[in-house]
Amino acid sequence: MFSKGVKPMCRSLRKIAVCFLSETNVASRRLSLSSVFKSTYSSTTSHIHRLNAKSQSTASQNHILNGTSRADVKFLQSSESCRRFLDRYDNFLFDCDGVLWENDHVTHIPGISEAIHLLQDLNKRLIYVTNNSTKSRLDLQNKFNEHGFHSPLENVFTNSYACALYLKEFLGVKDSVYLISGEGTKWELDQLGIGHFGSGADLCQPSSHVSTLLKHKFNDEVTSVLVGFDEHFSYNKIFKAASYLMDPNCHFVATNIVEKSAIIGREGRKMKMPLTGVMVNAIAEAAGRQPVIVGKPFNTMFDCVRKQLPDLDLSRTVFIGDSLKADMGFAKSVGIDSALVLTGVNTSSDISQFPDLCPEFVLRSLADIVH
């Protein structure tokens, strides 16, 4: 089904290497993917400021929400409004980071386990949909247990798992995936029996010299390049991925692109951590190709959810997340309602800046559904 057209590419590898290193040729193929979305990650060290914003008065909250282009955005704060919210939906889809715990991946958000247990007691279907490609579904299931609640594995969707599903179920890929991602993605490919190579540190000698690059090892049978968050990301991996992608029959798939960086550290010692979007863009610009983005806000992620859970009634489904661009954008793209929680990326004051991404509901925290 898939072309083995990288053989001619490897036979003329000198031409590829020279093309890859040429500033003129690379510049002519540059993409503007970075303009598609602005980074939505806010500083984890600004949490105190976000909490101050979340604790403003009810009148101030309503003033902000009424100033948006969506007059029907509802701020859920009373027991009656929360009861109506819960009665309205049968299926609750959740982002994880910034919703179930803080965006540092460690800090508990008070009352979350009680909220999850309430929904479970009400026989709601709970589905977890995250753009974090560093974790496998099993990793998340174990983390749920640590935070005091449980979920069956079939209700957990990481973008790594969705990528594996997309490759196998939608593209028919079974083998020879060049993987630029971490252990979470590797585990998901293994679970679906998809052969892959390239994870971990690249062992070839890094160099800007064509003679050295020509000695790099290539896989003649490659079918796809899959990119997620990779702590071993390197020049060698960009070179190899871009070279493989010169074959138009080689699939180019990425876990996500919205998250490009995060500010980490403490006051006085802040640092910038590059995230998946930076890695995807580097390869896309070198290759001159645009990837299929599986993660939120693109609806490919939801296609994978529906593939596994075909009986979802969209009219009775709501997505709960902390990011206007990734989560509310995802809900809009697939045609379901959304609720923004203020425990993560965005605050209520951000809503007026993104009128096309207004949620139907706003909660200070998911824990607020418990009264």
Catalytic-role residue among 72, 87, 90, 95: 95
What class is the 44-131+314-369 domain?
alpha beta
> Is residue 139 annotated as part of the catalytic site, yes or no?
no
What does the domain layout of the chain look like in residue ranges? 44-131+314-369, 160-293
pLDDT at 70: 53
pTM of the model: 0.78
Low-confidence ranges of the chain (pLDDT < 50): 1-69
Architecture of domain 160-293: 3-Layer(aba) Sandwich (3.40)
**Among 292, 278, 285, CA closest to 225:** 292
Show the tokens assigned to 100: 């179930």
Report the first-to-last Cα separation within the chain, whole angstroms: 56
> Is residue 95 annotated as part of the catalytic site, yes or no?
yes
pLDDT at 1: 41
Catalytic-role residue among 72, 87, 90, 97: 97
Q: Alpha carbon of 29 to those of 211, 213, 245, 282, 350: distances in Å?
A: 24, 21, 13, 12, 35
pLDDT tens, position by position, 329-360 = 999 999 999 999 999 989 888 998 998 999 99
pLDDT at 71: 56
**Do the domains 160-293 and 44-131+314-369 match in fold?**
yes
